[in-house]
Structures are given as structure tokens and as C-alpha cells.
Amino acid sequence: MTLPSMNPEGDRNTGAFDPAVAARAWANGWAISRRTPAPVRRSGCLQISVGKPGQTTRYVLPALDRHLLQELVTETGPGSWLKICAPRESVSPLLSHHWQVHDAEFLMCTDLMGGDASAPEGYRMQTEKVGEVAFARLIAGSGEIAAGGQVAIEGPFATFDQIVTAEAHRRKGLGRRIMTILSSIALDLEARQGVLVATESGAALYKAMGWSLVSPVTAASYPTAQAG
């Protein structure tokens, strides 16, 4: 899949967005969306205390800092996760054998735009706002959740998260509609720029919707010990 490259003078969709701005906005929004403590700024990265058995701490590096990465690889242990704004081929050689590298991801952003935020025929829309997080779901006639997602608002930034379409309802444009609904909600809440980290399949949808690539993202984790 070919994704658009970032114009060094500013992308037509994202204006002032650069990897450092986008990565910080995404990390802050992700923490709000997942209800973790706010990221703590360290030299060269953001540290998020996730507190889950398989993910105790997450480190977000807006750029590849080889010295910092080597420190993190040496000092951190099981349950640690890394999100590095750099391609896999640049990151993997710097990791020890303890680390598992995950599928490619992409940091993307856009200037938010409105659109058709109604439910498609055959579905009903359900939305709610809890604190700084807004949720949207499309409910099928059977009562099952066909598609859903959430967006976390922090000032002018909206971080899109957990956009999912159920297998039986794919290829009907529901993911695109959920993104449009969440964008409309974010605009109503005075956000102006959207940011997310996408999988490869998700990035294809967002690219088609006008989102732009800021940086490839390499995700790696130090697995916790498995019970024998």
C-alpha cells in the first residue's frame, strides 16, 4: 500500500502538524481515551503508566533517538511497550531479542471536516459523551453493534481510537460513517484537527477520507512471562 509522504513545508490537510506535535497530541488523547494517567514528558519521549498486566508502561518517541531507545531497551522490562515514529527497518536492529515487533502502524492527521453524520439505512445511531471522550455506535436491526469508535478531545485536537466494524457488516461504508459522525461531534466540541495511529488496513480507509501520513510507527513490546 502506498501512503502519501509528508510535505516538509506543511501538508495541505494538516498545516502546522509535524511528527512531534502529532505524536504528543496522539499520546495525550490516547491516555484520555483509555483512561490512564496523563503522559509524563521525559527527554525525547512521553511515558504513559498503563498499569495492565501485559502493558505496564508505554513510551512514545516522536522521533528515532538511538541513544534514548538503547537506554529504554536496557532499562525497561516485561510489560513495557514502545511506539516509535520511525520505520521498522530503522528500529528493529536497535532492539534486543526480548522485544517483539508488531505489525506496521501509521501516525496520521487531518483538518476535521463535517459530513453526513446520520445513520445509514438499516441501522440506528447511538452516541454518548463521558468526560472528554465521545462514543458513537451504529446498531443493526438485530440489536448488535455493527460499528463503533470513540474520540478523545483535548483543546483543538481530537484523537480517534478503537474504530471497529463487525465482520458481518464490513464493506458497507460503516467505518467511514463512524469516522464522519465522530468528526462532527469533535467539531461541535471545538476540536479542529484529528490525529490517530492506524493499522495498515485502517490507513487505507483514512487515506481515502483525506487523512495524511505524518510518520510510520514501529510498535514493539517486551512480553511478560507466561505461566508454565
pLDDT of residue 18: 87
Q: Give the integer Cα–Cα distance in Å for 101 and 59.
A: 14
Residues of the chain with CATH 3.40.630.30: 113-191
Residue 145 pairs with which residues in a beta bridge?
A: 139
Q: What size, in residues, is the chain?
A: 228
pLDDT in tens, 65-119: 999 999 999 999 999 999 999 999 999 999 999 999 999 999 999 999 989 999 9
Q: Give the integer Cα–Cα distance in Å for 105 and 108.
A: 10
- Examine the pLDDT at 37 and tell me if it is beyond 50: yes
Terminal alpha carbon distance of the chain: 40
User: Mean of the per-residue pLDDT values for the chain?
Assistant: 91
- Examine the pLDDT at 64 and tell me if it is beyond 90: yes
DSSP code, position 200: H
Domain 113-191, CATH class in plain words: alpha beta
pLDDT in tens, 41-54: 999 999 999 999 89
Only one residue has cell 510518520, namely: 215
Could you tell me the three cell numbers for 119? 445513520
Long-range own/partner contacts, residues 33-36 (CB < 8 A, 24 or more apart) = 33/133, 33/150, 33/151, 33/152, 33/159, 33/161, 33/162, 34/161
Q: How confident is the model at residue 7 (pLDDT cuts 50, 70, 90)?
A: very low
CA angle 99, 105, 110 (to 5 degrees): 145
- Output the CA torsion sign for 74, 76, 78, 84: negative
